[in-house]
Structure 1
Amino acid sequence: MDRGTEDKLARKGRHIGLVIAVTMVLWLGMTLFIGPALGLPGRYALLFDLAALAGFVYAGINIVQLWRLRQDSQR
């Protein structure tokens, strides 16, 4: 595996980790602290849950893409 491919895989892995971490922090912050502090109704919690789910689905798709890139680069 050449250096360019390794850098590409590492960059994609860092991106996935950052997406997961930021999604989790924002989701917990909005549903546990910021939403209740602003007095938002409970239905907004569902909106935050769906937004977090979208972030996790995006990360999952990217994890599969990363896995396939690693499999192709090892051949």
Structure 2
Amino acid sequence: MPGPSDKTGNAQVRLATIVIVAAFALWMAGSALGGALGLPVRFAFLLDLMCIAALVWALAVLYRVWRRRQDNGV
């Protein structure tokens, strides 16, 4: 039977999923918009670093949830 920590894990997985989808959408839209507007390359690198940071954070959250579920035997 799922306990309170299971609900927290599900919420964290849901949040990480939203962050991943939003980061990729922002990455693609920002790259297309930056190219269309002719923005300097430094803004493209800044966008890349922000999106990579979001993806690394989501990966860390998913790893932590996965380890917690492995420890609990879920």
Gaps of 5+ in 2: none
3-state DSSP of counterpart to 1:60:
helix
Residue matched to 1:10: 10
**1:5 corresponds to which letter in structure 2?**
S
Matched, 1:60 2:66: no
> Please, which moves more after superposition, 1-10 or 16-25?
1-10
Equivalenced residue count is 74
TM-score by length of 2: 0.84
Q: What percent of counterpart residues are identical?
A: 34
Gaps of 5+ in 1: none
RCO comparison, higher one (Cα < 8 Å, 6+): 1
Residue matched to 1:48: 47
- Aligned residues: CA RMSD: 1.7
TM-score by length of 1: 0.83
